[in-house]
A = this chain, B = another copy of it.
Amino acid sequence: MLKVAIIGATGYTGRELAGILARHPHVQPTYLTSESFAGQRLSDVYPQFRSVVDVTLEKPDMDKVAECDFIFSALPHGLSVDTVPQLVSTGKKVVDLSGDFRLKDGGLYADWYGYEHNQPQLLANSVYGLPEVNRQQIKKADLVANPGCYPTSVLLALKPLLAEGVVDPQDIIVDAKSGVSGAGRSPKLPFHFPECTENFKAYKVAGHQHTPEIEQELAAVAKEQVLVTFTPHLVPMIRGILSTIYLRTSGKLSETEIWSLFEKHYGDEPFIRLLKAPALPETKFVSGSNFCDISLRLEERTGRLIVLSAIDNLMKGAASQAVQNMNLMMGWPEETGLK
């Protein structure tokens, strides 16, 4: 059993990671760090782990990190940028779950994340960890930037269409909806139960930091500039993302022909499920799993293509995708510990 470190193990993403790794046949969660809860066991912070994962949390110590065989960093963005260089310098492979190593143009961090990025070399070397797009590079990577939750749902929904050049890359609208766990575990008024339940709203309209990440990765697939309007919404549920995406096609393809593009690209993908009409994705169907469910409708009246995708934001949108990346980086079968 290889030893795995989780830096920042007590957020929701760290918790999911610990749970998945505890069931993984080749590794065990060995070294878990927390600034706030050091000295307590993970099962004190999350009592569901009692007699399942009872590892004691520690303040991060790079010597101890270096004794592990693989490292996950689950720190918030803005903190990862300072810590990940130290993790990488241990010589062990690293998956970073924050947004700090996803944008290739470091200058974007000032605008979208509010800080100056000072690690251009690592930014250049990191691999964007979406297996369905970058599988081969991930296998060889030392640092994988695990994709954001919203971008995962959007990129998987659009890859076949942009790779094949059948939709207008300048006319893409993503209306996305997420459960509340996406906002993390720190108590804040908008996520206080009486404020949050029985409520629905959009937030960060025309300004969410996942926008440039989506555009960058879609452009890499399309091999041309892509422009996206992205609107996130908050759903009164714990987990799940549904993205409803509006596109313009050339008008020459039928719905059946569009489906065949998806089958061409995703026919062998273990974690993508294509739902033909009348089926539609629902977040409950992917809850707790690494699946991404995708469906689509070509609206004849308007000529618009509507693609819908659902993931579990904490799983395929974070922790289980990180493990999928680890499997690739370690040369294990991609589905190990994920089904």
Interface residues of A (CB under 8 A from B): 12, 47-48, 50-52, 173, 175, 177, 179-181, 185-189, 191-203, 205-206, 227-229, 231, 233, 235-240, 242, 244, 246, 273, 275, 279-287, 289, 291, 293, 297, 299, 301-302, 304, 306, 308, 310, 339
A285:B181 contact, CB within 8 angstroms: no
B-side contacts of A175, CB under 8 Å: 175, 231, 244, 246
Contact with A240, one of B187, B191, B199, B202 (Cβ below 8 angstroms): B199
B198:A187 contact, CB within 8 angstroms: no
Query: Nearest Cβ in chain B — how far from A17, in angstroms?
Result: 16
B-side contacts of A291, CB under 8 Å: 50-51
Query: Nearest Cβ in chain B — how far from A287, in angstroms?
Result: 7
Contact with A48, one of B188, B203, B289 (Cβ below 8 angstroms): B289
B285:A236 contact, CB within 8 angstroms: no
A306:B198 contact, CB within 8 angstroms: no
A201:B48 contact, CB within 8 angstroms: no
A227:B185 contact, CB within 8 angstroms: no
Q: A181-B194, A193-B197, A196-B193 are in contact. Are A48 and B202 (CB under 8 A)?
A: no
B203:A280 contact, CB within 8 angstroms: yes
B237:A244 contact, CB within 8 angstroms: no
B-side contacts of A177, CB under 8 Å: 177, 200, 233
A280:B202 contact, CB within 8 angstroms: yes
B-side contacts of A50, CB under 8 Å: 273, 285, 291, 293
B-side contacts of A179, CB under 8 Å: 194, 200
CA distance A282 to B229 in the complex (A): 20
- Chain B residue at minimal CB-CB distance from A22: B339
Contact with A308, one of B189, B192, B202 (Cβ below 8 angstroms): B202
Query: Nearest Cβ in chain B — how far from A203, in angstroms?
Result: 7
A284:B48 contact, CB within 8 angstroms: yes
B-side contacts of A202, CB under 8 Å: 242, 244, 280-281, 308
CA distance A279 to B44 in the complex (A): 10
Q: A206-B297, A235-B236, A299-B229 are in contact. Are A199 and B282 (CB under 8 A)?
A: yes
Query: Nearest Cβ in chain B — how far from A317, in angstroms?
Result: 14
B193:A301 contact, CB within 8 angstroms: no
B-side contacts of A281, CB under 8 Å: 201-202
Q: A200-B235, A206-B299, A242-B200 are in contact. Are A195 and B273 (CB under 8 A)?
A: no
B187:A188 contact, CB within 8 angstroms: yes
A237:B339 contact, CB within 8 angstroms: no
- Chain B residue at minimal CB-CB distance from A273: B50
B-side contacts of A180, CB under 8 Å: 193-194
Contact with A285, one of B48, B229, B285 (Cβ below 8 angstroms): B48
- Chain B residue at minimal CB-CB distance from A12: B194
- Chain B residue at minimal CB-CB distance from A228: B302
Query: Nearest Cβ in chain B — how far from A307, in angstroms?
Result: 10
B199:A306 contact, CB within 8 angstroms: no
- Chain B residue at minimal CB-CB distance from A170: B302
Contact with A237, one of B191, B198, B302 (Cβ below 8 angstroms): B198
